[in-house]
Amino acid sequence: MVMNSAPLTTVPAASAPAPAAVNPVLRIPPAAPATAAAYFRASLTFHADVSDVAAALAAGGDPGFVVVDSRSGPAWDQGHVPGAIHLPTALIAEQAERLLDPAVPVVTYCWGPGCNGATRAALALAERGYQVKEMLGGFEYWAREGFAYETWEGEARRDPDPLTAPAEGDDCGC
């Protein structure tokens, strides 16, 4: 260990930069607690995560919502959430009324976090009067968390990715 023998200098408090000025996290300060609570509560009205959707579907019976895969036909064939309805975003205007009950909330998904297809599908459905949430993580995280999915060849499942899913039998505590 090398010791620095230079004397320490102190900067008077009045001339020291404020912590927020040098800290990129606090450069814009957090919202007031009530404002933050309202924002996060609202966010939960728009989003559901993969684990919550999977738990609701696995509980059996009517989950109270329908899942919509907004991707293309070839993407659907590669894998989709069991029981999901295939309704590509481009076809929502002409097919939503035939495939969906406006009284039943819809959860949309697309490929994953790098794709905003589920957001566009959710917008198109909301504009047509449907109650809708977006499944965060999309099909990518459905598969990465180890949930079963259907392909054109039948049911499939991947081992859970330890970076995205808790160890089997564990709960992430969220």
Residue 170: its pLDDT value, please? 56
Q: How much of the chain exceeds pLDDT 90, in percent?
A: 75
Cα–Cα nearest to 150, from 138, 142, 159, 141: 142
Residue 11: its pLDDT value, please? 46
Q: Give the fold, CATH level 3, of 46-156.
A: Oxidized Rhodanese; domain 1 (3.40.250)
Residue 167: its pLDDT value, please? 60
**Where are the chain's structural domains?**
46-156
The predicted-structure confidence for 118-138, as pLDDT tens digits, reads as follows 999 999 999 999 999 999 999
Q: Compute the 3-state secondary structure of the chain and give helix, strand, coil in percent, each to the nearest 5.
A: 35, 15, 50
What is the H or E stretch that residue 135 is in? strand 132-136
- What's CA 81's distance to the chain center, in Å? 15
Residue 22: its pLDDT value, please? 77
Which residues, in sequence order, are CB contacts of 20 under 8 Å at separation 6+?
26, 27, 29
Helix residue ranges per DSSP H, 47-171: 50-58, 73-78, 92-99, 117-127, 138-144
Q: What are the residue ranges in the chain where pLDDT is below 70? A: 1-21, 166-174
What is the H or E stretch that residue 108 is in? strand 106-109
Residue 2: its pLDDT value, please? 43
Q: Which residue has the tokens 């309704």?
A: 87
Residue 162: its pLDDT value, please? 86
pTM (two decimals): 0.82
Residue 125: its pLDDT value, please? 98
